[in-house]
Chain A
Amino acid sequence: MKIDVKHVAKLANLPLSSKEEKKFEKQLSSILDYVEQLNSVDTKDVGITSQVTNLENVTREDKPDLSLDQEEALLNTKSKHNGFFKVGMILDNE
């Protein structure tokens, strides 16, 4: 199974070197061949399991709670300015 590694890497926001691209193309191919065996399972009329808890309707009341203070929120960033997180200019309009 051949994968468009460049396209996937872009979707995944993962910058890869061309060496990595080659390596992953090969490895992902063989992993996908391995998981291909799922196709031999008869899943006609079988529902999906996306959660195993059987829980439903878990919500919280609309009551405000404490927030972090600005310092805590910004504690681990490498780039900030006047209480904001700062990144290089983004060209897209909102």
Chain B
Amino acid sequence: MSKLNQLSLREAAEGLKKKKFSSVELTKNCLEQIDKADKQINAFITLDKTALNQAKEADGRIASGNDSPLLGIPIALKDLFLTKDLRTTAASKILENYIPVYDATVVRKLKEAGVVILGKLNHDAWGHGASGENTNFGPTKNPWNKDYVPGGSSSGSAASVSSDMCIAATGTDTGGSSRLPAAFCNVVGLKPTYGRVSRYGIIAMSSSLDSIGHLTKTVEDSALFLNITAGNDPQDPTTPNIPVPDYTKSLGKSIKGVKIGVPREYTTEVGGLDTEILSLFEKTLKELHKLGVEIKEISLKHTEYANACYYVIQPAEVSSNLARYDGIRYGSARQNFGEEAKRRIMLGTFTLSAGYYDAYYKKAMQVRTLIKNDFEKAFNEVDAIITPVSPTPPWKIGEKIDDPLKMYLSDIFTVTANLAGIPGLSVPSGFTKNNLPTGIQILGPQFSEERLFQVGYAYEQATRFFERKPNL
């Protein structure tokens, strides 16, 4: 029984090119896996009935000599990405019947590259969450242990890639929503530099923080994917006109002598940092040291205020971005927003309101400047920064759902990259005693994704955590 769905993107692309198998076969294997596993995992909201037709078409293009790197590769899209004629729900009751009339720019680019879209993935509704539990379509389970959360908000993306239902998946990252679930599911999650990938056609959460990313099985896959999605978009005025390099070129280059900063505010100075997380992180540092990296302790002194800063700016922008959902032109009435969405709308409306704007929103925008400056200063001393992705390993489903503030605290290591607009790559860093995955993130200056891939690849190849598969 063929298990082509277990291949990485590069392996699948190579196999298709060498005609070892067809896109139809590859797609069939993915669909079989979805059929087998998704009832328990619940990663998908909508399956695209045209998937096999898309695969047939891709096979046709391959046969005529087209060797585009993503051609014929079955992927899935987080359900915030608008797909023309294919239901897009934002995992919310409000849009449960919504059929978009246009494709997101990223979707158009992926279609042009010849991917096979398997369907739309479950996530915390509107991007609000770190566990995958805030969805109207039932929580997604962690393939490594179904009693545990897969992380969020890109829960379906991480779970589907991790359980080989698809070869790769798109995600978004506003405060860690691609990096955290990647770490919790033993896959690679990229948060690109803000503006590196177009936001046009992706349901907005927090406009100045939203980053359009993806989840893959390996670092190389992540680089291949970014090659397609990155680039200036005239329909998104926050995408600079910076050329897109071949992100795979830096892979395999030695990382000897690369200076890596470890901020004490993410390790020794954090209250509540899980001991297992800390010890796995120390193992990571040892591994990097073996690879010739120079590790230096640094300080990002405003880190402790980052989460508070994030939870003022983000809900404010959310409250404005969700104002268009008034049920008139599309969607259902505003009562149908889930609890988390309502909470953020209320919080955001309050902090922007008369008399409170200066004390909250303006203040937070000033603290944001300080956090951004911390990173800029740090990158004068080091080439990259490494931290754990999450202060804790995956938690049990239902454990944090009743305490919103507790849930918000899971973001403390990831929100800083969004506030500063810098890229972050989450790579698997090993398993806890309970066999739950963890991850570390590599952060770099704006538009330094090549450097992140270089470091991530070296570490990944030395540790090979990607070889482990969950028991489904």
Which residues on A are within 8 Å of B, measured CB to CB? 3, 5, 8-9, 11-16, 20, 24, 27-28, 30-32, 34-39, 41, 43, 46-53, 55, 58-60, 68, 72-73, 75-79, 85, 87
Contacts and interface: CB of A to CB of B under 8 A. Distances in A.
A31 B238 CA distance: 30
B330 A8 contact: no
B132 interface: no
A14 B446 CA distance: 38
Contacts of A8: 346, 349-350, 353
Interface in B339-395: 342-343, 345-347, 349-350, 353, 359-360, 362-370, 372
Given A34-B308, A52-B446, A73-B329, 13 more contacts: A12-B346, A16-B342, A27-B404, A28-B343, A30-B405, A49-B366, A52-B194, A52-B421, A53-B195, A55-B240, A77-B329, A77-B330, A79-B328
B299 interface: no
B421 A53 contact: yes
B237 A52 contact: no
B302 A24 contact: no
Nearest to B362: A48
B364 A38 contact: yes
Contacts of A34: 308, 311, 405, 408
Contact of B347 (A31, A53, A59, A68): A31
A3 B372 CA distance: 31
B234 interface: yes
A76 B98 contact: yes
**Which of B337, B346, B368 gathers the greatest number of chain A CB atoms within 10 Å?**
B346
A11 B334 CA distance: 13
Contact of A48 (B101, B328, B365): B365
Given A43-B370, A46-B370, A55-B238, A14 B305 contact: no
B337 A11 contact: no
B177 to A, nearest CB: 17
Which of A13, A35, A75, A85 is most buried by chain B, counting CB atoms within 10 A of its CB? A35
Given A43-B370, A52-B421, A77-B329, A35 B360 contact: yes
A41 B238 contact: no
Nearest to B370: A46
8 contacts: A13-B326, A14-B342, A20-B342, A28-B343, A38-B363, A52-B420, A53-B238, A55-B237
A49 B372 contact: yes
A3 B351 CA distance: 11
A16 B408 CA distance: 23
B405 A31 contact: yes
B321 interface: no
A82 to B, nearest CB: 16
B471 interface: no
Given A13-B334, A76-B330, A87-B328, A52 B405 contact: no
A52 B416 CA distance: 12
A46 B366 contact: yes
Contact of B305 (A15, A38, A53): A38
A50 B208 contact: yes
A38 B367 contact: yes
**7 closest Cβ contacts across the A-B interface?**
A52-B421, A76-B330, A48-B365, A43-B366, A58-B237, A12-B349, A35-B308
B331 interface: yes
A93 B122 CA distance: 43
B319 interface: yes
Given A11-B353, A30-B405, A68-B101, A43 B367 contact: yes
Contacts of B360: 35, 38
Query: By CB atoms of chain A within 10 A, which of B195, B237, B350, B370 has the most?
Result: B350
B410 to A, nearest CB: 14
Nearest to A25: B346
A47 B345 CA distance: 26
Contacts of A39: 359, 363
A85 B330 CA distance: 10
A76 B331 contact: yes
Nearest to A12: B349
A13 B334 CA distance: 8
Most interface-central of B304, B360, B366 (chain A CB within 10 A): B366
A13 B346 CA distance: 10
A23 to B, nearest CB: 8
B342 A28 contact: no
Contacts of A77: 328-330
